[in-house]
Amino acid sequence: MQAIKCVSGSALEADGQSILRAIVPTFDPFRYKGQAGKVAVIGGCREYTGAPYFAAISALKIGADLSHVFCTKDAAGVIKSYSPELIVHPVLEESYNIRDDEKSIISSKVLADVAKWMERFDCLVVGPGLGRDPFLLDCVSEIMKHARQLNIPIVVDGDGLFLVTNNLDLVSGYPLAVLTPNVNEYKRLVEKVLDCEINDQDAPEQLLSLARRVGGITILRKGKCDIISDGETVHVVSVFGSPRRCGGQGDILSGSVAIFSSWARQQNLATGDNLRGSPSNPMVVGSIAASTLLRKAASTAFGKKKRATLTTDIIECLGISLEEICPAS
Ligand SMILES: NC(=O)C1=CN([C@@H]2O[C@H](COP(=O)(O)OP(=O)(O)OC[C@H]3O[C@@H](n4cnc5c(N)ncnc54)[C@H](O)[C@@H]3O)[C@@H](O)[C@H]2O)[C@@H](O)CC1
Ligand SMILES: Nc1ncnc2c1ncn2[C@@H]1O[C@H](COP(=O)(O)OP(=O)(O)OP(=O)(O)O)[C@@H](O)[C@H]1O
Ligand SMILES: [Mg+2]
């Protein structure tokens, strides 16, 4: 197997630590609950309850004030039992649970149940542990269309990428969308959009073309190094993380992109005033920040737990890893 060339002429190694220092908000006694960010994860079904939990709790541990999960009824009790910190809405439905003649009315109810909360959120994460039930994915398409109408940023991961790869219009041309594909998800995306195989010889160029073809959305390609492009620039985060490839690390990343891109938008980094040489797109800034922190936390967790390192250990290291880069006081 060919190794991806991590840094080429067309991809800059990002200064993730400087970006983190620029976007992480300082504590301010006049701030009230919610101002540091409210995110929502759309995901969690019968099979997968860990993924939405990992994404939602990571956003909270990094510094979001509120983190919601919209999942199926089967998943809700389980996710609530992992943490009292999360606000869990048992609103999604899978086909096995409903009759055909109920589908239209239930679909409208699902959208209404999510829509009444939507304007509160700074960012949605669509897909961790969502599953691939066709009825459920149709409902999630409607939720994404609604979020887009309201200009709410959307991070798409996991089964959300399965949905989007087959329905590119959901994100195409939406500058507030970030896709975070793993190796398989990226392969499917490249085959669908560029109609070719993955080119690891010139990974940054291919990612640039892909992001352009989907109308300038941000894509974070996960792997040995994380490569990030919005069709204008390509940045690489290749600082060493952990050799452990346990499931769930991508879920930490998607929750982290949600909160960091919200902070980047808040601070209006788009002007470039705050940080010399940083990218102007806040979704790119948030992606670089998330990748940098996840890798540092994974490295710290591996240092402690070695072969036994699990995703929950990495989540426990998010706080100290961020503290080493941006001290709380
Ligand atoms: N604890 C949990 O609840 C977790 C749930 N997860 C969720 O699981 C769902 C599926 O995500 P995955 O990342 O497993 O999906 P993928 O489509 O990446 O992979 C599915 C499985 O099939 C294998 N596979 C797929 N395509 C392949 C190919 N072309 N060649 C060889 N093997 C291939 C993969 O290795 C993997 O085991 C998502 O909703 C995701 O969020 C994961 O996030 C991991 C943790
Ligand atoms: N080969 C690798 N070497 C070093 N780090 C890696 C490697 N592959 C992935 N990573 C890191 O792990 C993070 C998660 O990527 P991964 O490919 O495991 O996502 P995923 O398959 O979506 O995970 P999940 O199990 O949560 O769905 C990436 O941000 C990246 O930093
Ligand atoms: Mg994943």
Q: What is the pLDDT of residues 96-134, one digit of tens each?
A: 989 999 999 999 999 999 999 999 999 999 999 999 999
At 58-77, the pLDDT tens digits run 999 999 999 999 999 999 99
Q: State the complex-level ipTM.
A: 0.89
Say whether 123 counts as a known binding-site residue: no
Q: Is 244 in the pocket of ligand 2 (CB under 6 A)?
A: no
Residue nearest to atom 21 of ligand 2 (CA): 182
Spatial CB neighbours of 319, under 8 Å, sequence gap ≥ 6: 61
Q: b/e per residue, 25-64, with b = 16+ CB within 10 A?
A: eeeeeeeeeeebbbbbbbbbbbebbbbbbbbbbbbbbbbb
Q: Is the CB of 309 under 6 A from ligand 2?
A: no
Q: How far apart are CA 295 and CA 299, in angstroms?
A: 6
Q: Is 310 in the pocket of ligand 2 (CB under 6 A)?
A: no
Query: For the chain, which residues make up each domain, given as ranges?
Result: 33-325
DSSP character string of 202-252 = THHHHHHHHHHHTTS-EEEE-SSSEEEE-SS-EEEE-----S---TTHHHH
pLDDT digits (tens, 9 = 90+) for 253-302: 999 999 999 999 998 644 555 555 678 899 999 999 999 999 999 999 99
Ligand 3 midpoint to CA 35 (Å): 28
Token output for 221: 């390609």
Distance CA 247, CA 270 (A): 34
Name the pTM for this structure. Answer: 0.94
Q: How far apart are CA 8 and CA 204, in angstroms?
A: 8
Question: What's the fold here for domain 33-325?
Answer: UDP-N-acetylmuramoyl-L-alanine:D-glutamate ligase (3.40.1190)
The mean per-residue pLDDT over the stretch 154-162 comes to: 98
**pLDDT per residue over 5-38, tens digit each?**
444 446 789 999 999 999 999 999 999 999 999 9
Residue of minimum CA distance from atom 27 in ligand 1: 184
State which amino acid sits at residue 34.
Answer: G
